[in-house]
């Protein structure tokens, strides 16, 4: 990856799911990226969209990589460290591919929409047809490109489907402003047609959410 | 303010001869002297100044040969040409704290009212007082806003005090291995050190300078006890183990049989040559009294309300004097104030003293943080 100031950056530098998230963030907004990893998204947003970004990352190695490249990142945990932030501190609170690994996804989701005026959440869809078929056909826990750990060592303890997630949003009074599902090749195709389509053919989904 | 450039190159002094310095204890201190050194060049915009705050027993001699000990400056690994705090790029200022004994006004100096050394008549000072004096020094130097203020341990306390008391004067703040308050355990260790000094008959109620004595043994013991807290169990073990000092077997006596004993005795004895016992009492007291939240309705986040300063908080895994939890409490408060904050915990077995030592991860982190800040501040490379 390349970082701010390297001057060799092009759109498309980052992972497909990160690009989908980045596309939802308007220029010059204030962003908190929860589970920011090595800072690829924050770096992209700072470079391409002049975003005022902060990050939280669980792994100290990730944090050190971010800070040593000039990004504002703290070591912390989505489950425990979101409470400190005041309401409306950010325009966008982002949680990329992390929701399914939290202990209390419901609380985390509520916190995201308290801290941020909007939230962007992405996760691997457990309703994807290969996942369904894997369990039905082989009778074993599914292992796919986005869920690539065997059951005994996966960090993903709260997996859900498109329908599960949208039901929770409805319960919490959260409005889905936008949903983008992508297939295994990272393409959108016809997946946006309906929830059922997205739930069956989407490998991963990205949501833009706001409070009602 | 009257300034004086020391002709022998050991630094400069300034006398705060305007309004007296109003201290937290309620006293006024008139004509206080602040001894300081600068490294590098202040740019035309006066925007590239970095204030380095020293720790309990440090001083303004960050770089170069120390005038008393003859040893290299205490932060030559961090500061200098081409270093993380690059003196080719930044203008570095470091002053001896108020109450110190390396040129700034302290209990060893003459009380103008009596013509004799202050001793215990010197007013009790606080971290806030130290920072107020530094702010006056910056006024003297014509620096409105610091690009960065950085320090470890007690230096980190000053950094936090700076950010809370003068937010508009601090663009970036780096408290390293520090805390927003001194813990009960740390106060306890300081009290042991102070009692060792005061129990020495040569201390004479703090009046030793008038009696031509010096509580050498007391100050040495204080230093020995404190020095243990700056290291970690594993660092001590790695350095010394149970190795014997110049002998094959224990001597069945109370001589320094073990290397670790010999090392501590040396640390204590050499410290006495360069530090004033009463200064040690006053500066440890200033750390004990430090509690940033207490000055802000008990809520640490209120100390940083609305701050625009960019923070980078650093802790070390094996530091049990200013452990990660204390540093994270600062981070949580900064988050609650929606401040711009980075936090890194550096993995090391060297204990609290790691901030003074060769820690590549620390250098990499701070180098990146400063580079990012310099870009935002518009500082030329």
Which domains, from first to last, does chain A contain? 16-211 (3.40.50.150)
Look at residue A190 in the predicted model and tell me its pLDDT: 67
Chain CA centroid to CA A163, Å? 17
Q: Please confirm, yes or no, whether B234 is among the known catalytic residues.
A: no
Q: Which residue has the tokens 């501040």?
A: B377
Q: How confident is the model at residue A70 (pLDDT cuts 50, 70, 90)?
A: confident
Kindly report the average pLDDT of chain A as a whole number: 89
Q: Exactly one of B59, B129, B288, B319 is catalytic; which is it? A: B319
Residue A5's pLDDT is what?
36
Would the CB atoms of A85 and B335 count as touching at under 8 Å?
yes
The residue from B104, B153, B279, B315 that is catalytic is B153
Residue with tokens 């004990």: B288
pLDDT in tens, chain B (381 residues): 566 655 444 689 999 998 999 999 999 999 999 999 999 999 999 999 999 999 999 999 999 999 999 999 999 999 999 999 999 999 999 999 999 999 999 999 999 999 999 999 999 999 999 999 999 999 999 999 999 999 999 999 999 999 999 999 999 999 999 999 999 999 999 999 999 999 999 999 999 999 999 999 999 999 999 999 999 999 999 999 999 999 999 999 999 999 999 999 999 999 999 999 999 999 999 999 999 999 999 999 999 999 999 999 999 999 999 999 999 999 999 999 989 999 999 999 999 999 999 999 999 999 999 999 999 899 977
Give yes or no: B12 in active site.
Answer: no
What pLDDT sits at residue A3? 37
How far does B348 lie from chain A, in Å, by closest CA?
A: 13
Q: Which of A7, A33, A67, A111 is the best residue to mutate to test the B interface, defined by the most B CB atoms within 10 Å of its own CB?
A: A67
- Which among B135, B129, B57, B60 is positioned nearest to B93, based on CA atoms? B60
Q: Which of A5, A75, A81 sits opposite B345 (nearest CB)?
A: A75
- From B54, B61, B190, B352, active-site residue: B352
In chain B, which residues have their Cβ closer than 8 Å to the Cβ of A93? none
Decide if B375 and A73 are in contact by the 8 Å CB cutoff: no
| Closest approach of A181 to chain B, Cα-based (Å) | 32
Q: What local confidence, expressed as pLDDT, does residue B366 receive?
A: 96
What pLDDT, on a 0 to 100 scale, did the predictor assign at position A184? 81
Distance (Å, whole) CA B171 – CA B210? 45
DSSP assignment string, B215-226: -HHHHHHHHHHH
Report angle CA A130, A136, A141 to the nearest 5 degrees. 70
Q: pTM of the predicted model, to two decimals?
A: 0.92
Verify whether the Cβ–Cβ distance B369 to A68 is below 8 Å: yes
What's residue A8's pLDDT? 42
Token output for A50: 């002049």
pLDDT at A4: 37
Q: Which residues of B touch A86 (CB under 8 A)?
A: 336-338
- Give B162's Cβ-side CA count (13 Å radius): 34
Chain A residue with the nearest C-alpha to that of B301? A84
Which of B331, B347, B372 comes nearest A70 by C-beta? B372
Note the pLDDT tens digit of each residue in A167-185: 999 999 999 999 999 988 8
As a three-state string, the secondary structure of chain A is: CCCCCCCCCCCCCCCHHHHHHHHCCCCCCEEEEECCCCCHHHHHHHHHHCCEEEEEECCHHHHHHHHCCCCEEEECCHHHHCCCCCCCCEEEEEEECCHHHCCCHHHHHHHHHHHEEEEEEEEEECCCHHHHHHHHHHCCCCCCCCCCCCHHHCCCCCCECHHHHHHHHHHCCEEEEEEEEECCCCCCCCHHHCHHHHHHHCCEEEEEEEEC
CATH topology of domain B186-284: Rna Polymerase Sigma Factor; Chain: A (1.10.1740)
What's the confidence (pLDDT) of residue A6?
Answer: 37
Using 50, 70 and 90 to split pLDDT, how confident is the model at A69? confident
Distance from the Cα of A75 to chain B's closest Cα (Å) equals: 6
Q: What are phi and psi of A155, to 5 degrees?
A: -80, -5
Two structure tokens written together for B354 = 């790691």
B310 inside 8 A of chain A by CB: yes
For residue B368, which residues of chain A lie inside 8 Å, CB to CB? Answer: 67-70
| In chain B, ranges of CATH 1.10.1740.110 domains | 186-284
Q: In what order do the strands lie in the sheet with A52-57?
A: A72-75, A52-57, A30-34, A90-96, A116-124, A204-211, A174-182
CB contacts, 8 Å: B360 with chain A = none
Confidence of residue A2 (pLDDT cuts 50, 70, 90): very low
Work out the number of other CB atoms within 10 angstroms of the CB of residue A138: 10
Look at B332 and A71 and tell me if their CB atoms are within 8 Å: no
> Which tens digit of pLDDT belongs to each residue from A77-89?
999 999 989 999 9
Beta strands in B96-196 (DSSP E): 110-111, 116-117, 146-152, 170-176
Q: What is the pLDDT of residue B8?
A: 41
At A9-26, the pLDDT tens digits run 454 578 888 999 999 999
CB contact under 8 A, A85 and B336: yes
CATH for B2-182+289-377 is 3.40.50.1820
For residue A72, the chain B residues in CB contact (below 8 A) are 310, 340-342, 372
Q: Which of A60, A67, A86 sits opposite B369 (nearest CB)?
A: A67
The answer to whether B153 is a known catalytic residue is yes
Where are the domain boundaries for CATH 3.40.50.1820 in chain B?
2-182+289-377
A179-211 residue pLDDT tens: 999 988 878 766 677 889 899 999 999 999 999
């Amino acid at each position: 990856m390349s970082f701010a100031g390297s001057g060799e950056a092009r759109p498309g530098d980052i992972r497909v799911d990160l690009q989908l998230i980045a596309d939802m963030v308007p220029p010059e907004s204030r962003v908190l990226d929860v589970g920011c990893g090595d800072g690829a998204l924050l770096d992209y947003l700072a470079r391409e969209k002049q975003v005022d970004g902060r990050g939280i990352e669980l792994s100290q190695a990730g944090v050190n990589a971010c800070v040593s490249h000039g990004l504002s990142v703290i070591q912390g945990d989505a489950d425990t460290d979101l409470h400190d932030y005041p309401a409306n501190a950010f325009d966008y609170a982002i949680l990329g591919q992390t929701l399914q690994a939290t202990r209390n996804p419901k609380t985390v989701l509520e916190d995201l929409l308290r801290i941020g005026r909007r939230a962007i959440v992405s996760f691997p869809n457990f309703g994807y047809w290969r996942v369904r078929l894997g369990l039905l056909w082989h009778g074993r826990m599914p292992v796919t490109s986005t869920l690539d750990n065997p059951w005994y060592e996966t960090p993903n303890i709260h997996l859900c489907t498109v329908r599960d997630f949208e039901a929770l949003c409805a319960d919490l009074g959260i409005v889905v402003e936008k949903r983008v599902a992508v297939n295994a090749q990272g393409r959108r195709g016809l997946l946006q047609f309906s929830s059922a389509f997205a739930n069956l053919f989407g490998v991963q989904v990205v949501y833009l959410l706001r409070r009602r | 303010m009257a300034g004086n450039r020391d002709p022998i190159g050991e630094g400069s002094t300034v006398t705060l001869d305007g309004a007296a310095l109003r201290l937290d204890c309620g006293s006024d201190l008139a004509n206080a002297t602040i001894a300081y050194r600068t490294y590098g060049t202040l740019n035309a915009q006066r925007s590239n100044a970095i204030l380095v705050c020293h720790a309990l027993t440090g001083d303004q001699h960050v770089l170069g040969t120390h005038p008393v000990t003859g040893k290299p400056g205490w932060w030559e690994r961090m500061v200098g040409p081409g270093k993380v705090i690059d003196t080719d790029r930044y203008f570095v200022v470091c002053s001896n704290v108020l109450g110190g004994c390396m040129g700034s006004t302290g209990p060893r100096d003459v009380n103008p009212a009596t013509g004799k050394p202050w001793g215990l008549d010197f007013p009790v000072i606080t971290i806030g007082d130290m920072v107020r004096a530094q702010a006056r020094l910056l006024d003297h130097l014509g620096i409105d806003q610091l690009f960065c203020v950085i320090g470890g341990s007690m230096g980190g306390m000053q950094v936090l005090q700076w950010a809370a008391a003068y937010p508009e004067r601090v663009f970036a703040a780096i408290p390293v291995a520090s805390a927003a308050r001194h813990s009960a355990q740390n106060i306890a260790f300081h009290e042991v050190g102070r009692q060792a000094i005061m129990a020495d008959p040569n201390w004479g109620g703090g009046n030793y300078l008038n009696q031509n004595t010096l509580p050498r043994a007391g100050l040495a013991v204080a230093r020995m006890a404190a020095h243990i807290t700056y290291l970690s169990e594993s660092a001590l073990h790695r350095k010394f183990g149970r190795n014997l000092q110049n002998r094959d077997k224990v001597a069945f006596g109370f001589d320094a049989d073990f290397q670790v004993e010999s090392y501590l005795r040396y640390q204590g004895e050499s410290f006495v040559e360069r530090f004033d016992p009463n200064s040690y009492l006053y500066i440890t007291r200033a750390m004990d009294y430090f509690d940033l939240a207490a000055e802000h309705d008990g809520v640490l986040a209120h100390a940083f309300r609305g701050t625009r300063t960019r923070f980078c908080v650093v802790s070390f895994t094996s530091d049990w004097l200013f452990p990660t939890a204390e540093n994270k409490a600062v981070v949580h408060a900064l988050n609650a104030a929606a401040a711009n904050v980075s936090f890194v915990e550096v993995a090391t077995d060297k204990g609290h003293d790691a901030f003074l030592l060769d820690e590549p991860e620390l250098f990499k982190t701070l180098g990146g943080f400063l580079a990012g800040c310099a870009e935002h501040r518009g500082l030329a490379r």
